[in-house]
Amino acid sequence: MAVATSPFTEKTDEQKAITEMVRQFVDNEVIPIAEEHDHEDKFPDALVEQMRELGLFGVTIPEEYGGMGLDLTTYAMIVEELSRGWISVSGIVNTHFIGSYLLMRFGTDEQKQEFLPKMATGEIRAAFSLSEPEVGSDVQGIKSVAKKGDDGDWELNGQKMWVTNGLRSGVVFVLMKTDPKADPPHRGMTCFITEKEPGAAENPGLTVPPQIKKMGYKGVESTELVYSGFKCPPERILGGEEAGLGKGFAQMMDALEVGRVNVAARGVGIAQRALELALRYSQERKTFGREIAKHQAIQFKLADMATKIEAARLLTLKAARMKDAGERSDLEAGMAKLFASETGKEVVEESFRIHGGYGYSKEYEIERLYRDAPLLLIGEGTSEIQRMVIGKKLLERNKI
């Protein structure tokens, strides 16, 4: 779909080149296989290999570690393109991106040296784990505990839930309680860098149960992780034991802020694809003697869809650009995530309606989008939680 450029959505030459490359990859490789992989809930191994070759696992990792060293804004543009094809593909890079962000921002030099080069090439991929069976929004309520043994190593115990890339990842950034008596609880939480064998269900002290069956977001696995006497040396505390102990909650909340920009970009991407499908279908399908696109009711839908997508894209780019400029962007990331994920859901639903009965058929791509879009309302904080974040930050910035 042709969209006029504006100073607000303008891309640098580098951004143009990379998003064009990703768009071609998505059009040629992702969209043609997404339906089959979705229907069979099959992991796209071949796509992951191609993504490694394109360098997509190292987009934001500095060049000194073998990555591309690009900023969050460019990353958001890439995620929009990937999600336009299939949000599961962006899910494969998303937790990896959060893991590399955690290392770049808080890791010790040794931790960066150890993990970033292998992560930049996609040799190992990262997962990010906060949620538990009884806890999602209220992260301070986690129950998993790490205890220091007499030998100086930490022993991790607890059950984690909804870990995207839980099976195939080689490293999991996991939040544990290290001081269960801490008040407030977040002061007693620590992020551990836990390593495991990619693809292995059984690891010493760590079991990966069979993947959770989901309504959408198929292909990429979401799993539980059961830590049971998992041994972790102190060097695997994010930032080192001295600096990182008790800092895990703050570190992970910082990472969620960039994660929110990422989910916002996914909302824009899925909505963009839904609009493209609606534009095409509405000019092909005829009712009452003319293309349905000529009925004003359909045109109004298309107009609202396109308008919301532009607004969501602008909010997303604004939040990303502020973060890149080192400005505080918690409020903006919350707004972008809230608006773009709701836009993703709404635009997909409107496109589904425009498809009439065929929208309900598995023969049509919109059926997959309809099952995929709701995830964006939940991941990295639900819409209710975003509103709480936005409200709190608004009041903080406008104290009387």
Q: Just list the catalytic residues.
A: 380
Question: What's the chain's length in residues?
Answer: 400
Q: Does 379 bind ligand FAD (CB under 6 A)?
A: yes
Residue in 375, 376, 389, 390 binding ligand FAD, rule: CB under 6 A: 375
Do residues 160 and 154 make contact, with C-beta atoms less than 8 angstroms apart? no
Q: Does 352 bind ligand FAD (CB under 6 A)?
A: no
Q: Does 208 bind ligand FAD (CB under 6 A)?
A: no
Q: Does 31 bind ligand FAD (CB under 6 A)?
A: no
The tokens 């299939």 sit on which residue? 86
Q: How far is the CB of 283 from ligand FAD (least distance, A)?
A: 34
Q: Does 111 bind ligand FAD (CB under 6 A)?
A: no
Residue in 73, 95, 108, 351 binding ligand FAD, rule: CB under 6 A: 95
- Token pair for 257: 């802020």
Report the alpha-carbon distance of residue 370 to residue 300 in Å, rounded: 20
Do residues 249 and 144 make contact, with C-beta atoms less than 8 angstroms apart? no
Phi/psi region, residue 118 (left: phi>0; alpha: psi -120 to 50; beta: rest), is: alpha
Do residues 211 and 222 make contact, with C-beta atoms less than 8 angstroms apart? yes
Residue in 117, 136, 240, 246 binding ligand FAD, rule: CB under 6 A: 136
Residue in 88, 108, 164, 194 binding ligand FAD, rule: CB under 6 A: 164
Residue in 182, 253, 311, 378 binding ligand FAD, rule: CB under 6 A: 378
Q: How far is the CB of 217 from ligand FAD (least distance, A)?
A: 5
Residue in 130, 176, 189, 278 binding ligand FAD, rule: CB under 6 A: 130
Report the alpha-carbon distance of residue 277 to residue 209 in Å, rounded: 37
Residue in 34, 163, 265, 366 binding ligand FAD, rule: CB under 6 A: 163
Q: Which stretch binds ligand FAD (CB under 6 A): 79-87, 145-153, 305-313, 372-380?
A: 372-380
In the bound state with ligand FAD, the residue whose beta carbon lies nearer, of 137 and 361, is 137
Instruction: Sketch the per residue contact string, 50 through 69, with ligand FAD: x for CB under 6 A, - otherwise.
Output: --------------------
Do residues 90 and 282 make contact, with C-beta atoms less than 8 angstroms apart? no
Q: How many CB atoms lie within 10 A of CB 394?
A: 12
Q: How far is the CB of 378 from ligand FAD (least distance, A)?
A: 5
Q: Among the residues of the chain, which ranges form H helices?
A: 13-25, 31-40, 45-54, 72-85, 87-106, 109-121, 241-244, 248-284, 296-324, 330-354, 365-372, 383-397
Burial 342-380 (b: 16+ CB within 10 A, else e): bbbbbbbbbbbebbeeebeeeebbbbbbbebbbbbbbbb
Q: Does 74 bind ligand FAD (CB under 6 A)?
A: no
In the bound state with ligand FAD, the residue whose beta carbon lies nearer, of 142 and 278, is 142
In the bound state with ligand FAD, the residue whose beta carbon lies nearer, of 131 and 251, is 131
In the bound state with ligand FAD, the residue whose beta carbon lies nearer, of 278 and 333, is 333
Report the alpha-carbon distance of residue 186 to residue 152 in Å, rounded: 23
Q: 155: which residues sit within 8 A by CB, 6+ positions away?
A: 146, 147, 148, 149, 205, 229, 230, 231, 232
In the bound state with ligand FAD, the residue whose beta carbon lies nearer, of 137 and 299, is 137
Residue in 88, 111, 222, 329 binding ligand FAD, rule: CB under 6 A: 222
| Three-state secondary structure call for residue 313 | helix
Q: Does 126 bind ligand FAD (CB under 6 A)?
A: no
Closest CA to 344 of 263, 235, 289, 277: 263
Q: How far is the CB of 165 from ligand FAD (least distance, A)?
A: 7
Judged by CB under 6 A, the number of residues near ligand FAD is 20
Q: Which residues bind ligand FAD (CB under 6 A)?
A: 95, 128-131, 136-137, 162-164, 214, 217, 222, 375, 378-379, 381-382, 384-385
